[in-house]
A and B are shown apart, each in its own frame.
Chain A
Amino acid sequence: MAGSPLPKKPWEQSGASSGAMPFNPPSNGSTSEIVEASGTARPGEVVSGTEGNAVVNRNPIGRPVPSRPWSSNYGNTPGGYGSSMNYNGVGYGSGMYGSSYGGYSGQMGGGMYGNTMYRGGGYGGAYGGAGMYGGGGMYGGGYGASPYGGGYGMQMGMGMGMGMGGGPGSQDPNSPFGGPASPPGFWMSLMRVMHGVVDFFGRIAFLIDQNTFAFHAFMSALLQLFDRSGMLYGELARFALRMLGIRTKPRKGLQQEGPGGFQGPAGPLAIEGPKADGGAWDGVWGGGVGNGM
């Protein structure tokens, strides 16, 4: 068969290997004949790609995860209706995400309207439902609303998003488990575009907000640091001068009423208003000329 002979393997020249192997000695003949003679042959067995996924729950986190973009769900399942995983509560179904038409926007719809943008149960539910509709239209209105709007919303602590699912969902002409969805209508597309725009600017605003806050916190910390370091410097300087025998002006002199100096808050604060003028507030802002206090 071969044009040139196969060179001998180095380990074949070395002779027998150490130790007995716990296997029956090799059979003579061709591999196919040996396997067929052993009765274990099952020629041409086709392994389906999804079979292993559905049977074995190998998912350590115990909930469905988004299918990877390279996984073969694409096109294997008609209409993108994946496995039974889609029923498992939170709507991050494996088959849904990425495999079905519009599934991604559906997931976005449920998520964003459910928690950041509107926070209302009505909108959450409605657009959750709309997303579901775009995501394959497999479910009717009510059910379609719950995995995304409801499930995701609740996961985020909102607990909303159930109520209005019937609105856009009821536009779905298909029976709950019927055929593929019809393409989304004009309003649906418009709403989705609007949602995208709002979502985008929402994210931008959020970023700006967060950055502003971070900048503010940073700056105040910096100023505080300068302030404290100034105080430290002053204390150190005074300490050093005292060691050198130079007396500095006592600090409490500041609180005494110097000539023409600033009057510290030694007396009662003027919050009660001048009582000298009959307890009235009249002279507080403008009239207190020549009034010491």
Chain B
Amino acid sequence: MPIFKAGFSGHAVKFSPFFETRLVVASAQNFGIIGNGRIQVIDIDPATGSIVELCAFDTADGVYDCAWSEAHESLLVSAVADGHVKLWDTALPPNSNPVCSFKEHGREVHSADWNPVRRDSFLTSSWDDTIKLWAVDRPASIRTFREHTYCVYTAAWSPRHADVFASASGDCTVRVWDVREPTSKLTLSAHDLEILSCDWNKYDQCCLATASIDKSIGIWDIRNTRMPMNRLEGHSFAVRKIKFSPHRPNVLVSCSYDMTVCMWDYQAEDSLLARYDHHTEFVGGIDMSVLVEGMLASTGWDELVYVWQHGTDPRA
């Protein structure tokens, strides 16, 4: 399957919810520590199978995450390391982009997630310990959620409830929020070390997965916060990102600082389904296609983007 050279170290890759062959890659120079960033929209040519770049936008600072709009096929939001949240329209030429730029976060913005249910709003989480809720019909953020006491690495909407989302933070907790409530609904002390990512099960609205620096993945039922339903061990370094499959209820993929991408079935006895070690550096981003079952994409600090079908060799 095709390989794309991003040029910068990749931090996130996302499949478009509208087009099977389209992806966006968020990358940053010098591993995201200092330097510029880039957002690249890439397309898999169905005839040749190779990846071509549709358009690219440069930013003044590294881009840590990006998310496609669920409402508009060419719109995407990016989380920039200088605290900016920028909206881009891939149908417009680079000189009329970004279409919006918000500077409300005080530090690096680390994640962006578009509401898949109501589709008019998105979340950003930042190292300034807050999460912000934005809507496309408002010129500024609607709300700021501050309860975490350390960097918030991920905020993820519930795929089944339009008002609920979860946030994973370096203060070793995951909080579950309702945007209508003044405080968080739930605090989950999920790991002993920093939690880098969380994601919801698409088929069970109470099931949440957390990924932590302690190398493990926790599977939680939010009605029982005392102990996890399951704990997946197998990565040898911190788990950077985690994503539930859009097609199968108990399958999730994770990527880690041990340079591998793993696919898990958390209900199976032998939970590790596959391990891909095609990256030669830290893996920064992982995604599963909503439109094509089993289609995976990953990007890492080796500046490469891989798109492959589960079960095949990404390098082939």
Is B205 in the interface zone, CB < 8 Å from A?
yes
B205 touches A19 (CB 8 A): yes
Q: A249 in the interface, Cβ–Cβ < 8 Å?
A: no
The reply on A10 being an interface residue by CB < 8 A is: yes
Residues of B in contact, count (CB < 8 Å): 68
Give bound CA distance, A71 to B107, whole Å. Answer: 8
The answer to whether B72 touches A1 (Cβ under 8 A) is yes
A51 neighbours in B (Cβ, 8 Å): 106, 128
* Contact A6 B119, CB 8 Å, known A23-B163, A49-B107, A72-B107: yes
The complex places the Cα of A27 from the Cα of B120 at a distance, in Å, of 14
8 Å CB interface, B107-123 against A: 107, 115-121
Chain A contacts of B107 at CB under 8 A? 49, 52, 71-72
- Given the interface pairs A11-B160, A47-B105, the reply to whether A35 lies near B117 with Cβ below 8 Å is no
B262 within 8 A of A: no
Closest partner residue, chain A, to B248 (CB atom): A10
A70 within 8 Å of B (CB atoms):
yes
CA distance A187 to B287 in the complex (A): 60
Identify which of B82, B115, B142 contacts A43 (C-beta below 8 A). Answer: B142
For B18, list chain A residues within 8 Å (CB).
2, 4, 6-7
Bound CA span A69–B31, Å: 14
Q: Which residue from B121, B135, B179, B206 sits with its C-beta under 8 Å from A21? A: B206
- On whether the beta carbons of B222 and A22 are closer than 8 Å, the reply is yes
**How far does the Cβ of A219 sit from chain B's closest Cβ, in whole Å?**
40
- Report whether B205 and A47 are in contact in the complex, using a CB–CB cutoff of 8 Å: no
Question: Does the CB pair B142–A32 fall under 8 Å?
Answer: yes
Tell me if B33 and A32 are in contact (CB < 8 A): no
B272 within 8 A of A: no
Chain B, range 220-251, C-beta contacts under 8 Å to A: 222-223, 246-247
Cα of A223 to Cα of B126 in the assembled complex, Å:
61
Q: Give chain B residues whose Cβ lies under 8 Å from the Cβ of A24.
A: 163, 178, 180
Indicate whether A30 sits within 8 Å of B137 (C-beta atoms), given known contacts A23-B161, A43-B142, A58-B149.
Answer: yes
The answer on a CB contact under 8 Å between B180 and A32 is no
Task: Give every chain B residue within 8 A of A32 (Cβ-Cβ).
Answer: 120-121, 135, 137-138, 142
Contact present for A17 and B223 (CB under 8 Å)? no
Contact (Cβ within 8 A) A7 B160: no
Q: A19-B206, A19-B223, A49-B128 are in contact. Are A6 and B70 (CB under 8 A)?
A: yes
Which residues of B177-198 are within 8 A (CB) of A? 178-182, 185-186
What's the minimum C-beta distance from B251 to chain A, rounded to whole angstroms?
12
In the complex, per-residue mask of B74-109: 1 if CB is within 8 Å of any chain A CB, else 0: 100000011100000000000000000001111100
Residues in A neighbouring B55, C-beta threshold 8 A: none
Which residues of B lie under 8 Å from residue A259 when comparing CB positions?
none
Say if the beta carbon of A84 comes within 8 Å of chain B. Answer: no
Closest Cβ of chain B: how far from A2's Cβ, in Å?
5
Pick the residue among A10, A31, A39, A71 that contacts B142 (CB under 8 A).
Answer: A31
Question: Does chain A have a CB within 8 A of B150?
Answer: yes
Say whether A41 faces chain B, with CB atoms less than 8 Å apart: yes
Contact between B160 and A30, CB atoms less than 8 A apart: no
Query: What is the CA–CA distance of A26 and B133 in the complex, to the nearest angstrom?
Result: 16
A159-182 CB mask vs B (1 if < 8 Å, else 0) is 000000000000000000000000
Distance of A25 Cα from B290 Cα, bound (Å): 25
User: A47 and B104: CB pair below 8 A?
Assistant: yes
Set A4, A26, A50: member contacting B73, Cβ < 8 A: A4
Cβ A3 vs Cβ B73 within 8 A = yes
Query: Could you tell me the distance between the alpha carbons of A48 and B126 in the complex, rounded to whole angstroms?
Result: 12
On chain B, the residues within 8 Å of A19 by CB distance are 204-206, 223
**A residues whose Cβ falls under 8 Å from a Cβ of B:** 1-4, 6-7, 9-11, 14, 17-19, 21-24, 26-27, 30-32, 34-36, 38-52, 56, 58, 69-72
Interface residues of B (CB under 8 A from A): 17-18, 33-34, 70-74, 81-83, 103-107, 115-121, 126, 128-130, 132-133, 135, 137-144, 146, 149-150, 159-164, 171, 178-182, 185-186, 202-206, 222-223, 246-247, 290-291, 293
